[in-house]
Amino acid sequence: MKRLNSQLQKDGAPLELILLIRTLLAGCKEISFRVSQGALAGVLGSTLSENVQGETQKKLDVISNQILKDILKDSGYVKAISSEEEDDVVPCHPDGKYLVSFDPLDGSSNTEINSLIGTIFSIAHAPQWMEPDDPSAFLQPGTQMVAAGYVLYGPSTMLAMTTGRGTHLYTLDKTHGGFLVTQANIQVPEDTAEFAINASNQRHWEEPIQNYIGDLMAGADGPRGKDYNMRWVAAMVGDIHRVLCRGGIFMYPFDKRNPKKPGKLRLLYEANPMAFLMEQAGGLASTGEGRIMEVMPSEIHQRVPVLIGSKNEVAKCLEYY
């Protein structure tokens, strides 16, 4: 099987980007080990603090964030980082060429039940004229990303990543500690009969999504003429992994509870990297109003609605808008 380095070189990634990715993944391997220890290492449960999102932090949120922050700051390749668990950008090296945004442990509420969780990341070029502590450096559309991916901590530790030359799946071989290519250039099926959405929020959805989900639920007797299955992991990284592997549509649409929060998912370190992966695998990724990767960020923790997955199903969903 092909090793990570070989695939990145084949895809034309520059040396410094390869070294940065290897550094980032070294941190993810440490997180994978901590997660696997669970209660044995005393890392489960919540802290007494909240992050900038107003969410109670799990112990593993804090640990994972610190692991990635430390390893990236020491690398010399990174000018600044932005994280779900940090109020502001974290300056790193003044001459670093890259910006890294990440959700250190997506789905961390699942740690209590030993279910799927993961790390999501995106990498972009750092404007060299900006200071490392300037948050406006991160206000770039997703089209400017040079790499994105996630590491899924499941029965095996898997990496999905793109540098703009297709989306590849890797599996961590714990016998030697490296990621090996297990599926190159994965393609998402264009049609599907699966959808993922938090149905408990239905009363808050806008009319287009209400109507779309209503037609899916009507099954073979409804206008879509076939039965659909709903799957929901409660961790974006797990739901997107399933969609990448066998097709589907994942939705976290706008809801009317808080106009100041147009969605639950954050643009820089959740929606954009997943959109990049999905588009490189032949899928679509939209806010309902336009392409996710073309949204111009206004601040580092900006939220957006997300409709992402199989090409024909996302296109059909957008017809309801």
DSSP states of 280-296:
HTT-EEE-SSSBGGG--
User: At 90, is the secondary structure helix, strand, or coil?
Assistant: strand
Q: CA 101, CA 234: separation in Å to the nearest integer?
A: 21
Q: Are residues 17 and 155 in the same domain?
A: yes
Q: Are residues 127 and 219 in the same domain?
A: no
Q: Are residues 11 and 138 in the same domain?
A: yes
Residue 110 falls inside a structural domain: yes
CA 41, distance to chain mean position in Å, is 26
Residue 188 falls inside a structural domain: no
Q: Are residues 171 and 213 in the same domain?
A: no
> Facing residues of 177 across strands?
none
| 53 has pLDDT over 80 | no
Annotated binding site: 84, 103, 105-109, 198, 264, 270
CA dihedral 297, 300, 303, 304 (to 10 degrees): 30
Across the chain, mean pLDDT equals 94
pTM of the model: 0.95
Residue 272 falls inside a structural domain: yes
The pLDDT tens digits of the residues spanning 82-139 come to 999 999 999 999 999 999 999 999 998 888 888 999 999 999 999 999 999 999 999 9
Annotated binding site for substrate: 106-109, 198, 264
Lowest mean pLDDT among 11-25, 55-69, 209-223, 290-304: 55-69
pLDDT on residue 42: 77
Enter the DSSP assignment of 54: S
50 burial (CB, 10 Å; 0-12 / 13-18 / 19+) is exposed
Q: Are strands 194-196 and 249-252 parallel, antiparallel or unpaired?
A: parallel
Q: Are strands 306-309 and 284-286 parallel, antiparallel or unpaired?
A: antiparallel
| 232 has pLDDT over 80 | yes
* Tokens 């450096």 found at: 137
- Count: domains in the chain: 2
Residue 189 falls inside a structural domain: no
Q: Are residues 29 and 136 in the same domain?
A: yes
Domain of residue 256: give its range.
Answer: 194-318
Q: Are residues 18 and 91 in the same domain?
A: yes
Q: How many CA atoms lie within 13 A of 284 on its CB side?
A: 20
Q: Please work out, in degrees rounded to the nearest 5, the angle formed at the alpha carbon of residue 259 by the alpha carbons of 256 and 260.
A: 145
| Domain end position, chosen among 148, 183, 218 | 183
Where residue 96 sits, what CATH number does that domain have?
A: 3.30.540.10
Annotated binding site for Mg(2+): 84, 103, 105-106, 270
Buried b (16+ CB within 10 A) or exposed e, 78-94: bbbbbbbbbeebbbbbe
Enter the DSSP assignment of 127: P
Where residue 217 sits, what CATH number does that domain have?
A: 3.40.190.80
